[in-house]
Amino acid sequence: MVWVGIDAHKKVLVAVAVDDAGQEVSSWRAHNRTSDWQDCSDWIKGIRGVSAVGIEGAYSYGRGLAQWLVGQTFIVYDVNPRWTAGYRKTARRQHKTDPLDARAVASVVRRDAPDLPQVHADDVSSLLQVMVSERDAAQSESVRLRNQLHDHFFQLGVELKALDATKLRKVLAQLPAPATPLDSQRLVAIERLAARCFLALADVSRYTTEIEAIAKEHFAPLVEIHGIGLLTAGVIASHLGPQARFVSEGQVAAYAGVAPIEVSSAGKDRHRLNRSGCRKLNAALYFIALSQYRSKSSPGCQYIERRRAEGRTLREAVRALKRYIARAVFRSWRECLPPQSAPVQLPS
């Protein structure tokens, strides 16, 4: 059997094929553009016994090639750069070149293919990935701008506790006339920062509305879980990806970092907190758990109270609840409307 590893960059693609013994069978190099993706596909087809293809950056610079190969019915895996870095540390030659990186990707696929995340064709979840990412960026930008505005208002003697769009407009309309040239310059800075802040907040509102509309159409079963609204359902779906990506709730829990890691030493078995996985999905499950805990009538609150009565701390009980929420999320996610039932226009 042969495995192919591809190191994807913005302008170049480097691929190496290795056999069962880890020896290089063939190599390929070209520009990262549409016209060369078919050449890569033909090169792979010309190698006898190819089992799977691994791409470092299959959702970044290698996304176009990854989707092209998936469309050509190849089995494609996304390989995290941390895994190839770990492989290089154990190699005899620890040089870092594009061919060596591609060979490391192929070796990771040869060793861990069953446990690697497989790349599937883009669907509505891919659209949500872009929208959620842009919403997060606009949200972060609005927070940064509001922090700057707070500083300028403080220097002008205007005290504020919170600053949303409505209050910002009200404060701007009531600002006193500048007493010094410095105050005048601060007012100019405030006007410019406020204009950019309004644009960022408008983007947040627009993306929220669009994400909720898609979640309502395609991921309504997720909303039936206590603590999940339409926006949270869209965020969860964007991180889970296509419905064929996970086949068990254990895989979802491991991906979200809520499944404890088994550790044994000197005859003692224990479990350690998992700090890996998708931290944004982990954070979403955490806020869902908190929402359930605050609702005294929810099963989640009753579960936390029962675990605390057994001697667990609140933090430990919440961690355990997140594992059960991941199970419920997986079951509801599998019941969602198949993305093939409605056409989806992805951004160019």
Could you give the CA distance from residue 86 to residue 102 in angstroms, rounded to a whole number? 14
At 271 the pLDDT is 66
pLDDT digit string, tens, across residues 12-26: 999 999 999 889 999
Of 40, 38, 42, 39, nearest in space to 55 by CA: 40
CA atoms lying within 13 Å on the CB side of residue 304: 22
Question: Residue 348 pLDDT more than 60?
Answer: no
At 267 the pLDDT is 64
Question: Residue 32 pLDDT more than 90?
Answer: yes
In the structure encoding, which two tokens stand for residue 147, read together? 């922090």
204 pLDDT band, cuts 50/70/90, is: very high
Residue type at 322?
K
| 3-class SS string, the chain | CEEEEEEECCCEEEEEEECCCCCEEEEEEEECCHHHHHHHHHHHHCCCCEEEEEEECCCCCCHHHHHHHHHCCCCEEEECHHHHHHHHHHCCCCCCCHHHHHHHHHHHHHHHHHHCCECCCCCHHHHHHHHHHHHHHHHHHHHHHHHHHHHHHHHCCCCCCCCCHHHHHHHHHCCCCCCCHHHHHHHHHHHHHHHHHHHHHHHHHHHHHHHHHHHHHHCHHHHCCCCCCHHHHHHHHHHHCCCCCCCCHHHHHHHHCCCCEEEEECCEEEEECCCCCCHHHHHHHHHHHHHHHHCCCCHHHHHHHHHHHCCCCHHHHHHHHHHHHHHHHHHHHHCCCCHHHCCCCCCC
Least confident interval from 41-45, 58-62, 246-250: 246-250
Could you give the CA distance from residue 302 to residue 320 in angstroms, rounded to a whole number? 13
For 251, other C-beta atoms within 10 Å of its C-beta total 16
Question: Residue 270 pLDDT more than 80?
Answer: no
pLDDT digit string, tens, across residues 278-328: 899 999 999 999 999 999 888 899 999 999 999 989 998 999 999 999 999
| Class of the CATH domain delimited by 2-115 | alpha beta
- Where are the domains positioned within the chain? 2-115, 124-218, 230-339
pLDDT digit string, tens, across residues 104-131: 999 999 988 888 888 999 889 999 999 9
43 and 28 Cβ atoms separated by less than 8 Å: yes
User: Is-above-0.85 flag for pTM?
Assistant: no
For 278, other C-beta atoms within 10 Å of its C-beta total 15
Least confident interval from 3-12, 135-144, 258-267, 334-343: 334-343
